[in-house]
Amino acid sequence: MKRVELIDVSKSYDKQVDVISNINVTIEPGEFFVLVGPSGCGKSTMLRMIAGLEEITGGTLKIGDTVANHLTPNKRDLSMVFQNYALLPHISVQQNITFGLDVKRMKKEDQRKKAADVAEMLGLTDYLDRKPRELSGGQRQRVALARAIVNEKPICLMDEPLSNLDAKLRAQMRSEIRRIQRSLGITMIYVTHDQVEAMTMGDRIMILHEGKIQQIGKPIDIYNYPANPFVATFIGSPPMNLAKAEFNEADQQLVLGDKFKISVPVEEIGKLPRTSMTVGLRPENLYPKTSDKKEGDVFEVEVTNVEILGNETIFSFKLGKEEWMAKWSGQWHIDIGDRLSVHIDFESLSIFEEKSGELIKKTIDYGNYVANKEVSS
């Protein structure tokens, strides 16, 4: 296992504008680290710089204890899985898996044994003699993963490897890749634009936007305590609701979108800015009036859209110029145009400073905890 460290790393193609700037992060040995962000944010460029496929314009890249800025890709002791799988169509699955071992001049018998062991791990034993064109998308993805694993490199880079798969196969491969990474103990750096992949796979995630780090942390911490409005709306499905708000000194209330007025606890009044701010609220924290929660302010809203998903119901409503969403557990028989009563607890709100976007009030942690994790013998 090896550590990967980026120190003040930047990338520019014209030596004038940085597409990536001031990246500082340490990826620990054996960690599953996810780079996530919208298309064009620089995540694949960063991965390619680590791999040695892109030149580093500024800063330092360290792999283990070695400065790797000018090392060729084959000297960086890592493997890479590409989005398009990069399989050779004219040779068999087994030959694709062992392709990199030829460079090491490993005996053919040893190559076959390694291929067989990895194929058994990934459920490819029955396909070793087939050509890539005879395989499904998920099977091809496994072959690309097997080729990376068989080299036994301590670091594996993955660039949106599941983007070509259907939803069911993506979910299956997410757990498969995570299981393999844990069993091998390798350092995995994984690029995706899918926040669900980031949340479910990463030990830690880094969110990028326009080439800059927005936040680094554990997925659940980023979900609960987003550093700024961009992170708040990027992580979470549906995303966090946002609205402009102001504090009304006379009524001691927070006014959202000129419509909702939320009572502010006395101990919180001094912490609020007296200028305009941005308030965020997760859809699951907009509660139905029938909830057993007693605290909070109740509001009437008009439904503009409904999605009934079986285990939960999501509906939209207007708050000023913004479209807000609420997510209620279970099946609710709601129609467009219905007027519903919802209530909001002040504790559920995330509040951001309007100009800087900095988080100035965290929401409460609504997570559930296992009372006793010890298993009696």
Q: DSSP states of 318-333 as a string?
A: EETTEEEEEEEES---
Nearest-angstrom CA–CA distance, 173 and 159: 14
Q: Is the pLDDT of residue 253 over 50?
A: yes
Both tokens of 63, joined, read 């792999």
Provide the CB-side half-sphere exposure for 242 (13 A, CA): 18
pLDDT band at 82 (very low <50, low <70, confident <90, very high): confident
Instruction: Kindly tell me if the per-residue pLDDT of 293 is higher than 60.
Output: no
Q: What is the pLDDT of residue 350?
A: 95
Dist CA 232 CA 255 (whole Å): 20
Rounded mean pLDDT, 109-114: 88
For helices 167-184 and 137-150, angle between their N-to-C axes, nearest 10 degrees? 10
Q: What is the pLDDT of residues 324-337, one digit of tens each?
A: 999 999 999 999 99
Phi, psi of 14 (to 5 degrees): -115, 5
Percent of the chain with pLDDT over 90: 59
341-359 per-position pLDDT tens digit: 998 889 999 999 998 999 9
3 state SS of 155: strand
Q: Average pLDDT, stretch 4-26?
A: 93
Beta carbons of 355 and 317 less than 8 angstroms apart: no
CATH topology of domain 230-361: OB fold (Dihydrolipoamide Acetyltransferase, E2P) (2.40.50)
Q: Go through 297-323 and write b for each residue having 16 or more CB atoms within 10 A of its CB, e for each that does not.
A: eebebebeeeeeeeeebbbbbebeeee
DSSP bridge partners of 59: none
Q: What Rg, from alpha-carbon coordinates, does the chain have?
A: 25
Residue identified by tokens 């087939």 is 130
What is the topology classification, in CATH, of domain 4-229?
Rossmann fold (3.40.50)
* Mean pLDDT estimate for the chain: 89
DSSP state of 201: H
Query: What integer pLDDT is reported at residue 372 of this predicted model?
Result: 64
User: What is the rounded average pLDDT of the residues 143-159?
Assistant: 89
Alpha carbon distance 5, 63 (integer Å): 7
SS3 50: helix
Beta pairing class for 187-192 and 32-36: parallel
Task: Using alpha carbons, select from 191, 66, 87, 208 the residue that is nearest to residue 139.
Answer: 87
In whole angstroms, what is the distance from residue 328 CA to residue 285 CA?
9
C-alpha dihedral over 115, 119, 124, 126, to 10 degrees?
60
What is the predicted pLDDT for the residue at 377? 43
Q: Which residues contact 161 (CB under 8 A, 6 or more apart)?
A: 81, 82, 83, 85, 141, 144, 145, 173, 177, 190
Residues in the chain: 377
Nearest CA to 350 out of 265, 285, 270, 257 is that of 285
Beta carbons of 257 and 319 less than 8 angstroms apart: yes
Per-residue pLDDT at 340? 94
Domain positions in the chain are 4-229, 230-361
pLDDT of residue 171: 86
Instruction: Report pLDDT digits (tens) over 207-234.
Output: 999 999 999 999 999 999 999 999 999 9
**Which DSSP state fits 18?**
E
187-192 vs 155-159, strand pairing mode:
parallel
Q: What is the pLDDT of residue 376?
A: 46
Quickly tell me which residue has 């101990």 as its tokens.
Answer: 267
Same fold, 4-229 and 230-361: no
For residue 318, the model assigns a pLDDT of 93
Residue 304 has pLDDT above 90, yes or no: yes
Q: pLDDT confidence of 373, banded at 50, 70, 90?
A: low
Q: What is the mean pLDDT of residues 253-282?
A: 89
Residue 183 has pLDDT above 80, yes or no: yes
pLDDT-based confidence at 371, cuts 50/70/90?
low
Asked if residue 31 has pLDDT above 50, the reply is yes
